[in-house]
């Protein structure tokens, strides 16, 4: 029997999630990317297609709980979970047919877990807009149409492929072809896809198709400094449109403010700057919270003298699967998990004190991990 030790899966890289930043050209995506990643990696320029190859930035997920646990344990190493942002070239009308920078950049979107759709919601005659006039609702429709048309192209190709290889005795292939036809009918009738009408036993197949219009998406309204707290008419119009479609997450961000914040190194000074503007969180904090909620993610911790570390997993993950997040051997040989909630750990001043107070629980492999759980995993080699 052995307690947990470090040894993560190499391919995991402690990732929270991979977020693609999309939108029309020249609407502030690269400035927002630079602010989120606190870098100057993305060229921010006043002309379309300033971004050609996608810019990629990796940033630690801020979490005061990680620092609290590390301080209590006097940990030698503190390891956060990370997010990856991808600043994808601006899409234009006709992208699915190769307009602008074309299908290559639609392909970049397929690789991300969630989409942050940036929409310009401010007037400035000195900053060129790719269309004749500024209308974020129209901009939204352009991008959504391009994603849907790209999906239509994929589904038509899959329809042709399945029609060619289907045999009368192959029941599963028949069902998959029926689902493809059903999705095509939905697009033709409603200009959208509704998974509620799809057989739940074959949702996995729709997931495998990796359709762009089904990517979890939230919206970043790039506003002027005066509208960052309460929004403006542009943001109100957008929110009304999105609410009529389905419940959507909308974040108000001023790229110019975030650019200033990213140049302030002290966290204390950043907070003072935010307070002066009537803001509670940076755009990074807002994006992380929104993305975690959208994707159904949560954080658990391992803590000790050697190191304190945050881990990101899906909600409804059981204890043995969480152990496997650290190392596959932990899941294979899982015996039990010793678990303390974050609140109890802090309230009683650390692991031993919490244990003495009866706050340490012995959990089996089917225990569903809760937000903020702190674990020791015991396993057989």
Domains of the chain, start order: 15-140+215-294 (3.40.50.300), 146-213 (no CATH), 316-379 (3.10.20.30)
- Given CA atoms 240, 151, 197, 111 in this order, what sign does their dihedral have? negative
- When pLDDT is averaged across residues 254-260 and rounded to a whole number, the result is 85
The pair phi, psi for residue 78, each rounded to 5°, is: -125, 120
Cα–Cα dist 11/14, whole Å: 9
- When pLDDT is averaged across residues 21-38 and rounded to a whole number, the result is 84
CB 114 within 8 A of CB 49: no
Closest CA to 300 of 308, 288, 312, 289: 312
Predicted confidence band of residue 11 (pLDDT cuts 50, 70, 90) = very low
pTM reported for the whole predicted model: 0.85
Do strands 82-87 and 55-60 pair parallel, antiparallel, or not at all (unpaired)? antiparallel
pLDDT given at position 134: 86
Closest CA to 374 of 65, 82, 61: 65
Tokens describing residue 286: 């807002």
Who contacts 276 (Cβ-Cβ below 8 Å, separation ≥6)? none
pLDDT given at position 7: 46
Who contacts 182 (Cβ-Cβ below 8 Å, separation ≥6)? 197, 198
Q: 64: buried, middle or exposed (CB in 10 Å: 19+, 13-18, 0-12)? A: exposed
Mean pLDDT is lowest, of 25-29, 84-88, 228-232, 277-281, for 25-29
CB 105 within 8 A of CB 91: yes
Tokens describing residue 280: 């509670």
Q: How many C-beta atoms lie closer than 10 Å to residue 148's C-beta?
A: 19
């Amino acid at each position: 029997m052995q307690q947990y030790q470090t040894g993560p899966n190499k391919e995991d890289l402690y990732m929270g999630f991979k977020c693609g930043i999309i939108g029309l050209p020249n609407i502030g995506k690269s400035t927002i990317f630079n602010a989120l990643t606190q870098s100057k990696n993305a060229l921010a320029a006043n002309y379309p297609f300033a971004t050609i190859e996608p810019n990629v930035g990796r940033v630690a997920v801020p979490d005061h709980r990680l620092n609290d646990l590390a301080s209590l344990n006097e940990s030698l190493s503190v390891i956060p979970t990370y997010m990856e942002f991808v600043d994808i070239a601006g899409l234009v009308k006709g992208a699915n047919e190769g307009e602008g920078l074309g299908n290559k950049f639609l392909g970049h979107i397929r690789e991300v877990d969630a989409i942050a759709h940036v929409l310009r919601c401010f007037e400035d005659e000195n900053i060129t807009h790719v269309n004749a006039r500024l209308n974020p609702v129209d901009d939204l429709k352009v991008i959504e149409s391009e994603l849907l048309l790209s999906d239509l192209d994929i589904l038509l190709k899959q329809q042709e492929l399945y029609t060619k290889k289907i045999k009368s005795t192959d029941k599963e292939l028949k069902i998959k072809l029926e689902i493809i036809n059903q999705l095509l009918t939905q697009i033709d009738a409603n200009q959208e896809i509704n998974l509620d009408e799809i057989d739940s036993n074959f949702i996995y197949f729709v997931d495998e198709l990796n359709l762009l219009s089904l990517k979890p998406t939230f919206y970043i309204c790039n506003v002027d400094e005066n509208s960052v707290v309460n929004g403006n008419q542009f943001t109100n119009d957008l929110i009304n449109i999105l609410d009529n479609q389905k419940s959507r997450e909308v974040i108000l961000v001023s790229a110019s403010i975030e650019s200033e914040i990213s140049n302030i190194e002290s966290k204390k000074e950043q907070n003072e700057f935010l307070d002066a503007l009537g803001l509670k969180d940076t755009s990074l904090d807002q994006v992380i919270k929104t993305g975690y909620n959208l994707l159904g993610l949560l954080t658990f911790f391992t803590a000790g003298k050697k190191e304190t570390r945050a881990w990101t997993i899906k909600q409804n993950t059981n204890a043995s699967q969480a152990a496997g997040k650290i190392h596959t051997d932990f899941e294979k040989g899982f015996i039990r998990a010793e678990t303390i909630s974050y609140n109890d750990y802090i309230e009683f001043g650390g692991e031993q004190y919490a244990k003495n107070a009866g706050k340490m629980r012995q959990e089996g492999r089917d225990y569903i991990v809760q937000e903020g759980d702190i674990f020791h995993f015991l396993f057989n080699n």
